[in-house]
Structure 1
Amino acid sequence: MKRITFLVLLALASCGKKPPGQAAYGPHCGICHHSGSGMPGEVPPLVGRLDIIAQTPEGRHYLADVLLNGLEGHFRTQGYDYNFSMSPFRSQLTDQQISDILNWLISRGNTKPAPTISPADIAAARAQSGDPSATYRERMKVNAQHPFP
């Protein structure tokens, strides 16, 4: 499955088409997170971090919840403090789009083979209610178990 995903991404790149995750990322996430590098002290970076977070089931669930339910709270990463507020995309993005976005970002990290998050994983997370504060509490719990980069 991972090799097939890589081959599809490679084929799309060679045709000049953006992979589905990159196409969905631009208008929804790229506005704030730019190319995935964020803005130090303003918007946290994604590339080089999400692949590490996604290595555990708890981390993958947390990433799904961030996109579905948003995130609000103070945290520190890569030497910068963030008092961050991100809106939920539960009503704007499908399970497939969220999976595509997360997998595109994860694949850009250094973890090989890259972990993946399926649309079924997103659907399972979507079945639970949540809000930005709950996602923040989840972040603190998961970060205590598996420290985030």
Structure 2
Amino acid sequence: MHFYFRINICHLRLLPLLAAVMFLNGCSRHKSGHFLYGSNCGICHHGGQGMAGSVPPLTGRIDRIASTPEGKRYLAAVLMNGLSGPIKANGVAYEAEMPPFRYLSDEDAAQILTYLSSQGTTKPAPVITAADVAEARAHRVGASGVATLRETLGQSNPLP
């Protein structure tokens, strides 16, 4: 009987540790837009500033592009289909080659785009939804086709 009591006390001492492990495990399942950006896009776009001449900056631009429904569709299309060809961002020329990120779930892609949108000056920041991404995923176009979408969008809404 004395042994049984000691085991229960030991188990009680482990409860806070067990609760912490369960909490942290639950947190790791929900990945923030910042985390998803860093592990998928940050490799090339770095902290959002891009790389001169080859990788355009994202911060301070995505929110302005996402301010219209057409802009949201374009951004989702870029993430789902990639982008190839010359573009201008903030008046600087880039020779962009971005692969498609179709392996991302609609929700994860939406979190990345919404996170990037929140890094701009537009308040409230435009939100890109999983439904926006699902629509882009359903309309597959080649990376050069996305460049054409960009040109069309730029004619009606000048892109930063």
Unaligned runs of 5+ in 1: 1-14
Task: Indicate which of 72, 79, 99 corresponds to 2:91.
Answer: 79
RMSD: 1.5
Task: Indicate which of 50, 53, 57 corresponds to 1:45.
Answer: 57
More helix by share: 2
**Pairwise CA distance, 1:40:** 2.0
The answer as to 2:26 corresponding to 1:34 is no
Provide the identity percentage: 49
Task: Indicate which of 85, 93, 100 corresponds to 2:104.
Answer: 93
d(CA) in 2 for partners of 1:66, 1:77:
14
**Residue equivalent to 2:36:** 24
d(CA) in 2 for partners of 1:148, 1:43:
16
TM-score (norm 1): 0.84
Please tell me whether Structure 1 or Structure 2 has the larger radius of gyration of its CA atoms: 2
TM-score (norm 2): 0.79
d(CA) in 2 for partners of 1:114, 1:89:
23
d(CA) in 1 for partners of 2:125, 2:31:
16
String of CA shifts for 1:52-92, please: whole Å, max 9, x gaps: 000011100000000000000112222321111100011x2
d(CA) in 2 for partners of 1:19, 1:146:
32
Task: Indicate which of 134, 139, 151 corresponds to 1:123.
Answer: 134
**Pairwise CA distance, 1:26:** 1.1
Unaligned runs of 5+ in 2: 1-26
How many residue pairs are counted as aligned between the two chains?
132
Query: Whose relative contact order is higher, 1 or 2, with alpha carbons under 8 Å and at least 6 apart?
Result: 1
Runs of 4+ off more than 3 Å: none
